[in-house]
Amino acid sequence: MIGRLAIVGVGLIGSSLALALRQAGMVEHVTGCGRSEANLRRGVELGVLDDYSLSAVDVVRDADVVVLAVPLGAMRSVLEAIQPGLSAKTVITDVGSAKGSVVADAQAVLGVGARRFVAGHPIAGTERSGVEAGFATLYQQRKIILTPGSDTDADALELISRMWQATGAHVERMSVEHHDRILAATSHLPHMLAFSLVSHLSRMGDQHEIFNYAAGGFRDFTRIASSDPVMWRDICLANGEALLDLIEGYQRQLDEISRAIREQDADHLFELFRDAKHTRDQLRNLE
């Protein structure tokens, strides 16, 4: 049981966590903090929060667990804001999509207190945002990746693991470096492709006709381009090294397809598409 849970940044991820923990009976009191008081008031109305504060340092006082659900670019400033209000017993975790920058920020700001910081990343979400987007089943059967360091407090790690397990999620652990490399491939690059495709087509002279005739494949592929631009800007900058390697590799793949089209190489195109279909069909069996 978590006596007092403080969520800094009450959007889809934070509100869904609060609702799931309430449903599981694992939290007694949830308090929130954010920039929009209207959003926080709505959180109280919806039963996501018991109360809130616009002051980050006040909201973490007496908290057993603090969840940082803010953009990666704001992580360091938020850690600096809450640091004076943290007690020796407080466990802190985050939900950021890149872990290297977060762990570095926590170590720089918290010092020895970083031992009770458990970096985490729920592999779940939608393109919607705000407290009203939250729902209690978001994490059921989803993966939660924790990236503890060698000096991470064992009790803190166990508490955060049990917190996520209470939401119905599967908790896994990996190194910071491995996490950032894997997520760059499976999440960050696909978002870049969706954003860039929509941006490219929107600049074409006949964009209205193009979008008017967009079929299901276009809608499915570009749905994630509706995601929060601030969050994804910060992810690009935070995990830039791994992401750039993948973008450059993908550009080489597109060049290969371009050459095959230009040279009318039907056999090579067929091989590329056949292999990709085979791989995707295998993934479907795991869904």
Pairing of strands 170-173, 65-68: unpaired
Residues composing the chain:
287
Band the pLDDT of 210: cuts 50, 70, 90: confident
Provide mean pLDDT across the span 226-237.
91
Residue boundaries of the structural domains of the chain: 2-174, 178-284
Greater confidence, 261 or 210? 261
Residue with tokens 């690059």: 189
Read off the pTM. 0.87
Band the pLDDT of 87: cuts 50, 70, 90: very high
Residue pair 86/113 in contact (Cβ under 8 Å)? The answer is: yes
Provide mean pLDDT across the span 44-63.
96
SS3 (DSSP) at 257 = helix
Longest dimension (CA), the chain: 68
Closest CA to 236 of 12, 13, 71: 71
- Per-residue pLDDT tens for 60-75? 999 999 999 999 999 9
CATH architecture, range 2-174: 3-Layer(aba) Sandwich (3.40)
Residue pair 110/83 in contact (Cβ under 8 Å)? The answer is: yes
Q: Which two tokens stand for residue 19?
A: 């609702």
pLDDT at position 205 is: 77
Least trusted range by pLDDT, from 78-87, 150-159, 204-213: 204-213
Q: Which two tokens stand for residue 9?
A: 């940044």
First to last CA, the chain: 32
Assigned CATH for 178-284:
1.10.3660.10
108 Cβ contact list (under 8 Å, min separation 6): 76
DSSP per residue over 141-210, as a string?
T-EEEE---TTS-HHHHHHHHHHHHHTTPEEEE--HHHHHHHHIIIIIHHHHHHHHHHHHHHTSTTHHHH
Tell me: pLDDT of 200 over 80: yes
pLDDT at position 73 is: 93
Tell me: pLDDT of 286 over 70: no
Burial 72-108 (b: 16+ CB within 10 A, else e): bebbbebbebbbebbeeebbbbbbbbbbbbbbebbbe
pLDDT at position 285 is: 65
Burial 151-175 (b: 16+ CB within 10 A, else e): ebbeebbebbbebbebbbbebeebe
CA distance 25 to 6: 16
Mean confidence (pLDDT) of the chain: 94
262 Cβ contact list (under 8 Å, min separation 6): none
pLDDT at position 130 is: 86
Strands (E) in the chain, as ranges, are: 2-8, 27-33, 51-53, 65-68, 91-94, 117-118, 120-123, 143-146, 170-173
Band the pLDDT of 141: cuts 50, 70, 90: very high
Tell me: pLDDT of 219 over 90: no
Tell me: pLDDT of 161 over 90: yes
Tell me: pLDDT of 95 over 90: yes
Torsion angle, CA of 281/282/286/287, rounded to 10 degrees? -20
Q: Could you tell me which residues are beta bridge partners of residue 38?
A: none
pLDDT at position 287 is: 61
